[in-house]
């Protein structure tokens, strides 16, 4: 999903989100932001910032952006 260089720039929270998304890609596509945050052990705001920061529009088309009002 990300290049090696991009992975090196992620902080601990972003890495936790990334790892969960990679391991559960199919489930994440329809997963509400709160559920993703719970499973990744981060805040809902962190998940939304991660998606926005990394241009994950596909991820944003699920409940993530709908809950954020986008």
How confident is the model over 2-49, as pLDDT tens digits? 888 888 999 999 999 999 988 998 888 788 888 999 999 999 889 888
Structure-derived torsion over alpha carbons of residues 59, 34, 36, 66, reported in degrees to the nearest 10:
-10
Residue 67 has pLDDT above 70, yes or no: no
Asked if the structure places residue 2 within a domain, the reply is no
0.75 exceeded by the pTM? yes
Domain span including residue 27: 10-68
CATH number at residue 18: 1.10.10
More confident residue, 21 or 64: 21
Residue 52 has pLDDT above 80, yes or no: yes
Could you give the number of structural domains in the chain? 1
Per DSSP, 24 falls in state T
- Kindly give, in sequence order, each residue whose CB lies less than 8 Å from that of residue 47, ignoring residues fewer than 6 positions away: 17, 33, 36, 37, 40, 64
The H or E element spanning position 62 is: none
Asked if the structure places residue 39 within a domain, the reply is yes
């Amino acid at each position: 999903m990300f290049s090696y260089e991009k992975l090196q720039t992620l902080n601990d929270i972003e890495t936790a989100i990334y790892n969960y998304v990679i391991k559960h890609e199919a489930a994440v596509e329809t997963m509400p932001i709160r559920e993703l945050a719970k499973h990744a052990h981060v805040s809902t705001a962190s998940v939304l910032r991660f998606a926005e920061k990394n241009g994950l529009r596909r991820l944003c088309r699920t409940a993530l952006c709908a809950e954020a009002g986008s």
